[in-house]
Amino acid sequence: MKVMVAMSGGVDSSVAAALLVEQGHEVVGVTMRLWGGESDTGCCSVSDVDDARRVAQQLGIDHLVFNFTEDFNEHVVNPYVLAHTQGITPNPCIECNRHVKFARLSERAALLGFDAVATGHHARVTADTDGDFELERGADRNKDQSYVVHMIDQAELSRTMFPVGGMTKPQVRTHAARLGLRTATKPDSQDVCFITSTGGRSTFLGTRIPFRRATMVDTEGVEVGEVPAVEMVTLGQRRGLGLAGGGPKQFVVDIDVEHAVVTIGDESHLRTSEQTVRNMSWVRSAAHGASFGEVLVQCSAHGMPQRASVSVDADGTTANVSWLEPQRRIAPGQSMVFYDPSDRFVLGGGICA
């Protein structure tokens, strides 16, 4: 099989490529150039491209670099900036996977005659007895990345491979060390690639949008202070609000960007029994008007799944989640992913309203 493997310069994608070579596939490594600006974090630095190229040399495979900076700006960076002006907390890594690392790369692979695309994500693609594809959690629960690739549908799953999905992270590093790969001990990337560790989110956004001061009030509407930039505030935020210590913990419970007002309250004001999820995508066909009596719902990459029932609207794009036990509200813009009751298989996911 002719396989295009996305090589980020990390150990997981390096071993993914190595395994495919060992299995006898015709493998070509590809590194996507996504962010054209300054980067000292994430997976887009010059050193990462160099690491990917050198690993490809070690494995004896060709290595290509695709310039997807325009796609990245259009689908990831620009929406990230816009979201902050609307009081939304975006998840750029998920949007990058959705629009670039899978959709765009799969499109390019098909044009070039590849049979499949592989990545180093810790997830698994399996098939049920009917031949439909399933998206399953990675074998290493501590490194499972099914949450961030939940948007892959049947068409893409049929052409997607996750070679390290059945391995633990220590096994991946051991395999890399056995082969003498230069990435064997390289630390994992943790941060958003276009946000530098020195400047942070405020520097990045501050050069692109004007910040506006916001009045901070309690749940009774009494003014208690102000924040320097309403665009930088997130639902559930506790630190960085400039509140005096010593009292009960206070959290952001509402953000009114239009009127530049931030409301704070105690944790009870964040608790909810229901949450709406929009822009749903499904691993199988859209669940038009379906109801799920019990699913497990995960609200962050490594969050603890919580039990809920779910009802889906007629067109399958909006879901109402009813928690079996009240949970903290999830910030608008964050992704919510549904798993089957066994907590193994992804059903679908969407974006919190």
The C-alpha atoms of residue 336 and residue 68 are separated, in whole angstroms, by 27
Asked whether residue 139 falls in the same domain as residue 155, the answer is: yes
In a domain, residue 188? The reply is no
Q: What is the DSSP letter of 99?
A: I
Asked whether residue 69 falls in the same domain as residue 217, the answer is: no
Asked whether residue 111 falls in the same domain as residue 140, the answer is: yes
Residue where a domain terminates, one of 265, 284, 312: 265
Instruction: Tell me the catalytic residues.
Output: 96, 193
The C-alpha atoms of residue 123 and residue 101 are separated, in whole angstroms, by 15
Cβ contacts of residue 278 below 8 Å, gap of 6+?
317, 318, 350, 351, 352, 353
The C-alpha atoms of residue 166 and residue 172 are separated, in whole angstroms, by 10
CB 174 within 8 A of CB 140: no
Q: Please, is 342 exposed, middle or buried when counting C-beta atoms within 10 Å of its C-beta (0-12, 13-18, 19+)?
A: exposed
In a domain, residue 326? The reply is yes
Asked whether residue 61 falls in the same domain as residue 137, the answer is: yes
Mind listing the pLDDT tens digit of every residue in the chain (353 residues)? 999 999 999 999 999 999 999 999 999 999 999 987 776 655 656 788 999 999 999 999 999 999 999 999 999 999 999 999 999 999 999 999 999 999 999 999 999 999 999 999 999 999 988 889 999 999 999 999 999 999 999 999 999 999 999 999 999 999 999 999 999 999 987 778 888 888 889 999 999 999 999 999 999 999 999 999 999 999 999 998 988 777 789 999 999 999 999 999 999 999 999 999 999 999 987 787 888 989 999 999 999 999 999 999 998 999 999 999 999 999 999 999 999 999 999 999 999 99
In a domain, residue 215? The reply is yes
CATH assignment of the domain containing 277: 2.40.30.10
Asked whether residue 279 falls in the same domain as residue 259, the answer is: no
In a domain, residue 331? The reply is yes
Q: What is the pTM assigned to this prediction?
A: 0.93
Domain count, the chain: 3
Please tell me the number of Cα atoms within 13 Å of 123 on its side-chain side. Answer: 22
In a domain, residue 333? The reply is yes
In a domain, residue 196? The reply is no
Asked whether residue 225 falls in the same domain as residue 294, the answer is: no
Domain span at residue 296 reads 270-352
CATH assignment of the domain containing 99: 3.40.50.620
Q: Please, is 257 exposed, middle or buried when counting C-beta atoms within 10 Å of its C-beta (0-12, 13-18, 19+)?
A: middle
CATH assignment of the domain containing 220: 2.30.30.280
